[in-house]
Amino acid sequence: MHEENVWSVNEANSLNCNMEENQNGQERNSTNSTNKGSKEEISGSVCSGNFKKSEVPRTGGSILCVLEELVKVGQAMGYNMDGWTWKCTVSKEELKRAVWECGTDKSLGPDGFSFGFYRQFWSSVENDVFAAVSHFFTFGDIANGCNSCLIALIPKVPDANLVKDFRQISLIGSMYKIIAKILANRLVGVLGDIVNEVQSAFITERQILDGPFILNEVIQWCKLKKKQSLIFKVDFEKAYDSVRWDFLDDVLKKFGFGNKWCAWIQSCLRSSRGSIIINGSPTEEL
């Protein structure tokens, strides 16, 4: 799920101009100051504070309970997700397929293992990896450290000195990637029943630019035929990480996903930890 070729956007938090200017000034002063502590300590504090500040509430009552009578997604659309997707057991063939589908040229996560290593020494590590993955699908929890990541900050502009001037790249551990790949492969079997074919995202061999191209054709047609029309554009800034976990759980259940699948997804979300790399060293986990 982390590295699938799908539409994906991250996190949301909006501040008014005055607050942002004030915050930027504080960050600049903290980053440039040297009389209050080391550069590593100050930078780590600023970056960690920025990530913690941008977090949104994850629980506290889903909106679907308010819209129960209006939405009724699962019942109205008749989705049925029962079947092999929810089986708890994982075969060694399914595990090997997931490992071989993960790229060998990706940056290493906290565990330091590449998938080139797994392929090279598969006969030696297969049983241990199989035991760890089977534990997740049986009991619904990920072992400590297996869902930790390192967050690298890549400058987006020259002379970057504010947190917002950096792009965050998550370097994820190999064990979580394997689990996520198995979940994604299982989801592919039913994705056609969930995502409408008119959508641009999550459709095989369809690209994000297909949407604007089709929209341009529709606008030209409306002008040519002198048709009245209404175009509604919604852009959710950093939308992925702003989705509330209880809301996601309710939506999955509305679409007919069983308790086992929902528990797997919640485990992936709640076990996630991350450390920011500052001057080559990771900060405390967030």
For residue 85, give both structure tokens: 């997707």
Other CB atoms within a 10 A radius of the CB of residue 204 amount to 8
Q: Please give the C-alpha separations between residue 121 and each of 98, 114, 174, 178, in angstroms, as whole numbers.
A: 16, 11, 14, 16
This prediction has a pTM of 0.68
Q: How much is the pLDDT for 80?
A: 54
Rounded Cα distance, 129 and 223, in Å: 59
Paired residues of 151 in beta bridges? 170, 276
40 Cβ neighbours under 8 A, 6+ residues apart: 278, 279, 281
Alpha helices in the chain (DSSP H): 17-32, 39-53, 68-71, 73-77, 92-101, 115-120, 122-139, 174-194, 210-225, 245-254, 259-270
Q: How much is the pLDDT for 193?
A: 73
Q: How much is the pLDDT for 46?
A: 56
Q: Are 63 and 245 in contact (CB under 8 A)?
A: no
Rounded Cα distance, 241 and 9, in Å: 8
Rounded Cα distance, 285 and 275, in Å: 5
Q: How much is the pLDDT for 32?
A: 41
For residue 162, give both structure tokens: 């504010």
Q: How much is the pLDDT for 6?
A: 33
Q: How much is the pLDDT for 166?
A: 85
Q: How much is the pLDDT for 178?
A: 94
Q: How much is the pLDDT for 27?
A: 41
Q: How much is the pLDDT for 11?
A: 34
For residue 47, give both structure tokens: 């970056």
Q: How much is the pLDDT for 94?
A: 93
How confident is the model over 32-58, as pLDDT tens digits? 433 344 444 445 555 656 555 555 555
Q: How much is the pLDDT for 33?
A: 36
Q: Are 163 and 53 in contact (CB under 8 A)?
A: no
> Which DSSP helix (H) or strand (E) runs through 103?
none
Q: Could you say which DSSP state residue 197 is in?
A: T
Q: How much is the pLDDT for 130?
A: 95
Q: How much is the pLDDT for 221?
A: 92
HSE, CB side, 13 Å, CA atoms: give it for residue 23.
Answer: 16
Q: Please give the C-alpha separations between residue 212 and each of 47, 116, 177, 216, in angstroms, as whole numbers.
A: 36, 38, 32, 6
Q: How much is the pLDDT for 204?
A: 74
Q: How much is the pLDDT for 206?
A: 77
Q: How much is the pLDDT for 61?
A: 57
Could you list the pLDDT tens digit for every one of the 286 residues in the chain? 444 333 333 333 332 333 344 444 444 443 343 334 444 444 555 565 655 555 555 555 555 555 565 455 555 555 555 545 567 788 999 999 999 999 888 888 888 888 999 999 999 999 999 999 999 999 888 888 888 888 888 888 888 888 788 888 888 889 999 999 999 998 887 777 777 777 777 777 777 788 888 888 999 999 998 888 888 877 766 666 677 888 888 888 877 788 888 899 999 988 888 888 888 888 888 7
Backbone region of residue 66 per phi and psi (left: phi > 0; alpha: psi in -120 to 50; beta: other values)? alpha
Q: Are 81 and 257 in contact (CB under 8 A)?
A: yes
Q: How much is the pLDDT for 5?
A: 36
Q: Are 147 and 271 in contact (CB under 8 A)?
A: yes
- CA 133, chain centre distance (Å): 20
